[in-house]
A and B are shown apart, each in its own frame.
Chain A
Amino acid sequence: MLNDRWLGVCAIGFAAFLFWFGRGLEAPFAYEPVGPRAFPMLLAAIICLCGLILLIKGGSPVAPNTPSAKFRILLMVAIIAAYGMLFQLLGFMIATALMTACVARLFGGTWLKSSIAGVVMGISFFYLFDRLLDVVLPSGILRAWL
């Protein structure tokens, strides 16, 4: 069950992270009274304070997701992460077609509609952005043909 206590714990964890990796920040030649370390340390202190308040006060529980929603969200994260990885590797057109087909499926499109949407979107967005609007996109494995 997620509630403000957990948010408080995460905040304190984040503050500890900022503190731990920021404690050694020092300029080799200090010519100003406040170095590069002070500001992050100030932030860590305030975040820690917020975390403590949330931890002590607690409350405002978060409505839990249904298992199927959880599964869909995890799947979505996996798809968009894979899309990011394949964007340059396979090229914009193929990666986009694959991502669109999968995400459309996840949002309730049929296989046929999703695949058509994937192909159409991959091709049309490539020509729209790369050719018409001059936003360079990777052509990837289709380099020889584009």
Chain B
Amino acid sequence: MSGVLDHLVLGFGVAASPVNLLLALVGAFFGTIVGVLPGLGPINGVAMLIPIAFAMNLPPESALILLAAVYVGAEYGGRITSILLNVPGEAASVMTTLDGYPLARQGLASVALSISAWSSFVGSFIGVVGIVFFAPILAKWALAFGPAEYFLLMVFAFCALTSLLGERPVKGVLAAMIGLSIATVGIDSNSGVYRYTFDIPNLADGMAFVVVVIGLFAVSEMLQMLENVLSGTSIDVPKSKRKLFNLKELAFTWWCTVRSGVMGFFIGVLPGAGASVASAVTYANEKRHYESKDPDAKFGRGDLRGVAAPEAANNASAVGSFIPMLTLGVPGSGTTAVMMGALSLYNITPGPALFESSPALVWGLIASLFIANLMLLLMNIPLVNIFASMLRVPPWLLVPGILVISYIGVYALHSATFDLGLVVAIGVVGYFLRKFGVPLPPLVLGVVLGDMMEQNLRRALSMTNGELSILWESNISKGLIFACLAIILVPIAYRKFKKLRAN
């Protein structure tokens, strides 16, 4: 128990330094704006800031604090447009539109916004408490992992991510494989052989992760924006009588918020299942729970609990998804995959050893997640109109701005024109992949995990001189293989079952 306290003291010491507080504030503010803008989500915001944080020579813990604040800020921002405009600002806040927008129509926009800010905060708080208690346990357990178990764990992350993405698992697998093959470019660290470099010196170290991510998430996004009719969104925030929720509404949503927060946290911990899965599952769960008991439940027509549940869940899962990244070195979501790529710029490999080797980084990050959430709560209630007004920035100003920041980031990496050309090429490929409905998060996960996955596989096979049986010898391996099969087969079986019952 005292160990936990020591860690928290250390963490808050790091997070409360003036520079880190300022970074958390800037990150939270920037993240909220990114979350508000439709089309831009946490992954874009984090991707744009990584190279800049690196080029500014921020120490690793400060860079990570900035990025984490952007991540949670975007989860807060996503709800604003969901409620005011019926347009989810990012994927995880789709569920919030269902009840948030009807509430805004009824003149309760401010109440819905403030209660969702509150439930986001409660969700994150639950997530942070969960990290404090579960992360060290998981890290200790993960020390028993050998190369074979690590390889299988990464396979599990891919299975979880592609299976939960739903409709087209083949495309998910394809995306993951493309990501893994991007990671093979460059010098093979075991044998020194150049792979797929075509004698281009810029490719000897592989394709820079930042270049891939900015190409996929900034450039291709801009190209997609050009498809639609272009106009700034005008917003009329419906006038509301009260600015803040009252105690009755707080009590009304309390248990639903706590339950969804806890559930969201555990969904977030699963590698692969991110905030969008968490908000969808908890919304459905609360709806079923209340509609069976309470005849006055108005889910889908403006029930405050329908706003509180998904917001608590998506913030709790955003925080929870740090656990597999920090303890196992296997990210829990697309955004944490991007963040892990950021750490690799600093030559830091997350994993169980991280808790021993850089406790200041880990606990500083955890403490600043808490601080960033507090800031977001305080910032979001009074400033909601300012954030909403970001929607008035016309695309003709916004798009060049995003491009400039992205290019600065890519250029800052190696000062090479080659990288700027590569980012355009990857952006075009990413655009076509989006058109074909290929999900991009598994691709990013592939790029991040590719090298580790291959090295662990080769190391495992070296131990047995090429005998494949090492992959399923230990009990942990068997458990992981079982988990992989379960996560692939259960959703399929469930869908079949639902179809049968419908007939």
Closest to B227 in A: A69
Q: Decide yes or no: A136 and B412 within 8 Å by CB, A62-B435, A69-B227, A84-B407 being known contacts.
A: yes
B428 neighbours in A (Cβ, 8 Å):
77
- The interface bits of chain A over 1-23 (1 if a CB of B lies within 8 angstroms of the residue's CB, else 0) are 01010110001001000100110
- B454 and A87 contact, CB distance less than 8 A: no
- A43 and B177 contact, CB distance less than 8 A: yes
Could you tell me the distance in whole angstroms from the C-beta of A137 to the nearest C-beta in chain B? 7
- A7 and B438 contact, CB distance less than 8 A: yes
- B52 and A84 contact, CB distance less than 8 A: no
Q: Which of A22, A28, A85, A104 contacts B397 (CB 8 A)?
A: A104
- The interface bits of chain A over 95-106 (1 if a CB of B lies within 8 angstroms of the residue's CB, else 0) are 010011001111
Q: Decide yes or no: A73 and B400 within 8 Å by CB, A47-B177, A108-B231 being known contacts.
A: no
Could you tell me the distance in whole angstroms from the C-beta of A16 to the nearest C-beta in chain B? 12
Interface majority SS on A: helix, strand, loop or mixed? helix
Scan residues 88-140 of chain A and give those whose CB is less than 8 A from a CB of chain B. Answer: 88-89, 92, 96, 99-100, 103-109, 113-114, 117-118, 121, 125, 129, 133-138
- B397 and A133 contact, CB distance less than 8 A: no
B476 neighbours in A (Cβ, 8 Å):
none
A33 in the interface (beta carbon within 8 A):
yes
B295 in the interface (beta carbon within 8 A):
no
Residue picked from B55, B173, B415, B436, most chain A C-beta under 10 Å = B436
Total A-B residue pairs with C-beta atoms closer than 8 Å? 191
Q: Decide yes or no: A84 and B436 within 8 Å by CB, A47-B174, A117-B400 being known contacts.
A: no
Could you tell me the distance in whole angstroms from the C-beta of B224 to the nearest C-beta in chain A? 9
- A33 and B454 contact, CB distance less than 8 A: no
Report the contact-size class of chain B (Cβ under 8 Å from the partner).
35 or more
Query: Whole-angstrom distance between the alpha carbons of A83 and B410 in the complex?
Result: 13
Scan residues 95-143 of chain B and give those whose CB is less than 8 A from a CB of chain A. Answer: none
B225 neighbours in A (Cβ, 8 Å):
107
- B457 and A117 contact, CB distance less than 8 A: no
Q: Decide yes or no: A104 and B408 within 8 Å by CB, A72-B226, A85-B417 being known contacts.
A: no
Could you tell me the distance in whole angstroms from the C-beta of A2 to the nearest C-beta in chain B? 7
- The interface bits of chain B over 278-305 (1 if a CB of A lies within 8 angstroms of the residue's CB, else 0) are 0000000000000000000000000000
- A36 and B462 contact, CB distance less than 8 A: no
Interface residues contributed by chain A, number (CB under 8 Å): 71
Residue picked from B57, B178, B405, B431, most chain A C-beta under 10 Å = B178
Scan residues 228-268 of chain B and give those whose CB is less than 8 A from a CB of chain A. Answer: 230-231
- A108 and B230 contact, CB distance less than 8 A: yes
- A121 and B437 contact, CB distance less than 8 A: no
A46 in the interface (beta carbon within 8 A):
yes
Q: Which of A28, A40, A107 contacts B181 (CB 8 A)?
A: A40
B145 in the interface (beta carbon within 8 A):
no
- The interface bits of chain B over 22-36 (1 if a CB of A lies within 8 angstroms of the residue's CB, else 0) are 000000000000000
Q: Decide yes or no: A103 and B420 within 8 Å by CB, A36-B190, A84-B407 being known contacts.
A: no
A34 in the interface (beta carbon within 8 A):
yes
- A137 and B411 contact, CB distance less than 8 A: yes
- A11 and B424 contact, CB distance less than 8 A: no
- A2 and B178 contact, CB distance less than 8 A: no
- A39 and B454 contact, CB distance less than 8 A: yes
Q: Which of A36, A69, A96 contacts B226 (CB 8 A)?
A: A69
Q: Which of A2, A35, A83 contacts B407 (CB 8 A)?
A: A83
A72 neighbours in B (Cβ, 8 Å):
226
A106 neighbours in B (Cβ, 8 Å):
226, 396
- A85 and B395 contact, CB distance less than 8 A: no
Closest to B434 in A: A62
Closest to B395 in A: A107
Query: Whole-angstrom distance between the alpha carbons of A112 and B252 in the complex?
Result: 54
Could you tell me the distance in whole angstroms from the C-beta of A100 to the nearest C-beta in chain B? 4
- B415 and A136 contact, CB distance less than 8 A: yes
- B462 and A47 contact, CB distance less than 8 A: no
- B177 and A100 contact, CB distance less than 8 A: no
Closest to B193 in A: A36
Query: Whole-angstrom distance between the alpha carbons of A96 and B100 in the complex?
Result: 40
B180 in the interface (beta carbon within 8 A):
yes
Residue picked from B173, B407, B457, most chain A C-beta under 10 Å = B407
Q: Decide yes or no: A84 and B173 within 8 Å by CB, A27-B191, A108-B396, A133-B56 being known contacts.
A: no
B324 in the interface (beta carbon within 8 A):
no
- B184 and A40 contact, CB distance less than 8 A: yes
A25 neighbours in B (Cβ, 8 Å):
188, 193, 195
- B174 and A84 contact, CB distance less than 8 A: no
Scan residues 22-61 of chain A and give those whose CB is less than 8 A from a CB of chain B. Answer: 22, 25-28, 30, 32-36, 38-40, 43-44, 46-47, 50-51, 53-54, 57, 60
Scan residues 157-175 of chain B and give those whose CB is less than 8 A from a CB of chain A. Answer: 168, 170-171, 173-174
Scan residues 397-430 of chain B and give those whose CB is less than 8 A from a CB of chain A. Answer: 397, 399-401, 403-405, 407-408, 411-412, 415, 417, 420-421, 423-424, 427-428
Q: What are 28 A-B pairs with beta-carbon distances under 8 A?
A: A2-B436, A7-B438, A33-B462, A33-B466, A36-B188, A40-B184, A60-B437, A73-B227, A73-B431, A76-B226, A77-B424, A83-B403, A84-B417, A84-B420, A85-B420, A88-B411, A89-B417, A96-B404, A99-B400, A100-B400, A103-B396, A104-B400, A107-B226, A108-B231, A114-B396, A121-B400, A134-B56, A138-B411
Name B's A-contacting residues (CB within 8 A): 52, 55-57, 168, 170-171, 173-174, 177-178, 180-181, 184, 188, 190-193, 195-196, 198, 219, 222-223, 225-227, 230-231, 394-397, 399-401, 403-405, 407-408, 411-412, 415, 417, 420-421, 423-424, 427-428, 431, 435-438, 454, 457-458, 461-462, 465-466
Known: A73-B431, A100-B400, A104-B397; 10 extra A-B contacts, CB below 8 A, are A2-B435, A33-B465, A36-B195, A50-B171, A77-B424, A87-B407, A87-B417, A109-B397, A121-B401, A134-B55
